[in-house]
Structure 1
Amino acid sequence: MKLRILHETVYAYAPAVDTAQHIVHLKPRDTATQSLLDHGLDITPPVAARSERIDAWGNTRCFFSLQTAHEELRVIAASVVETLEPPPMPLDGGAAWEAVRERFRFRAGSVWDRAAEFVFASEYVPRHEDFNAYARPVFTSGLPVLFAAEALMRRIHSDFRYESDSTDVGTPAVEALAQRRGVCQDFAHIMIGCLRAMGVPARYVSGYLLTVPPPGMPRLVGSDASHAWVSVYAPPAGEPNGPGSWHDFDPTNNRMPGEDYVTIAFGRDFGDVSPMRGLLHGGGEHTLDVAVTVEPLG
């Protein structure tokens, strides 16, 4: 599937901002099931400096600075991506979740595994007993890790209500867990918190979702906006210390992402991959307007 994504961000400031520095994650990744065919980033007013770097997880991070006073900042990212249907979940569901937990339990002299960094607490997903308590009924003894992740996804989708104004970017995940409502960012953070509480590596994925439904099917939540979901690390069944693979789950829509999803970046939580953040000198009040369009080509 070939998809065009237009992501427009507009900040209006009163009074004007004197100078600013920003970092954006708006360039889709190249992956085994996704190829970036075209990407452009248009910034108004003209920037004083601009550069791109690849971060620790392979995401493209664009930095730019503005050195003149401005009352409005407009950032338009236009991308064309070709996607493939990901491989299905292994029929055996991977290694038992307890074996995965043991693999990543700290032992002196053990070999470092890069997936281990996604077991630890992070800024938006701290350790909390409430995550453990919510996940524990799902993680039955001997259950393959991907089957456990799927069951957790379904439980979150069933127990939680999607409400666009119920949380904001700074709402703690444990608070969203308690109130049983939130947006895709909250659902992803809650699922990550539960998986990490059980010792399973889980990372936050940011991107987009094509929500034009086939005839007779409901429109999926997340249209015309950035989306977020979860990726879970699973060693193969019978080889808990063997090379594992990452598998995506979307608790907001109760499904495994397919070719209608576009990945921008992944990290420990939202803070690692926020679409745009910055430091401002001057200014005061501001308004933010974000418009996202995802459409198929051909």
Structure 2
Amino acid sequence: MGRDFRIVSCGISTEDKPDHPTTPIALKACTRLPALEHGKNGCPEEAIAFFSPMEMAEHFNPDLVMLVGVVSACAQLLNYRFNEMIDGGVEPNSVTVVSALQVCAVACSLEECKMIHVFAVWKGFKLDVSVATALIDMHMKCFLPDKAIDLFERMPRKDVVLWAALLRGNTQNGMAHKSMEVFRNMLSNEMQPDAVAMVKILAACSESGILQQDVCLHGYIIISGFNNNIFVGAPLIELYSKCCSIDNATKVFEGIIHKDVIWSAMIAGYGIHGQGENFFF
């Protein structure tokens, strides 16, 4: 391990400045070292502080690996602050728990998520719909759909947002076919989706590519009065476009009065089918 750092040190001591390709290699070598001053040391505040001035640099273009590292550091720091709150006698409420779960879900920090989940159960927050929604979303983003479904089924009261989280999570985990099943169960439980939930349903179903299913959804949208909603119209156009039904996509586009935010969806639809020039003539 020491050899890795000696090589890096040698390069710097000879006044040869490391270039962009060299720096990540040097950092990777340092992560293998136990020494705090050079290696991986579990100091998220330092990681974030290191990243912040770089972000302001003129030619700084962070790659995915670096961004994931910073998000992970944020999750670790949040976990530390969360424990610090409890140790200091400050009781986190359901809003705090939801915020903490959302940060950890983005980072896919399973250990931090588990700790907050245990705390939520201990404090009796698990039956709070907003906390349950965040827990389901977190488990789905950590690729644990079975645990998310189990949490959903245990909830005595389910609102539209909770149903939408389950539906979206199925799609995130490559189970788009289950999204329509969730939607049917949602309707059978007399739960009427709002425009926001409808957008999520359409986005989920666009992955399946089943035209008959799309037509049924379109029928429901018309019956429910969402047919002239621009926010619902855009994903509906995308839905038809992905199912190779550009004619239906065009009909949806033409039927919407205010077309402000749906132009791009229609142009993209024509582009998918290699007909981009037809949209303008």
TM-score normalised according to structure 1 size: 0.19
Q: Which has the higher contact order (CA 8 A, sep 6+)?
A: 1
Higher helix residue share: 2
* Structure with bigger gyration radius: 2
TM-score normalised according to structure 2 size: 0.20
Higher strand residue share: 1
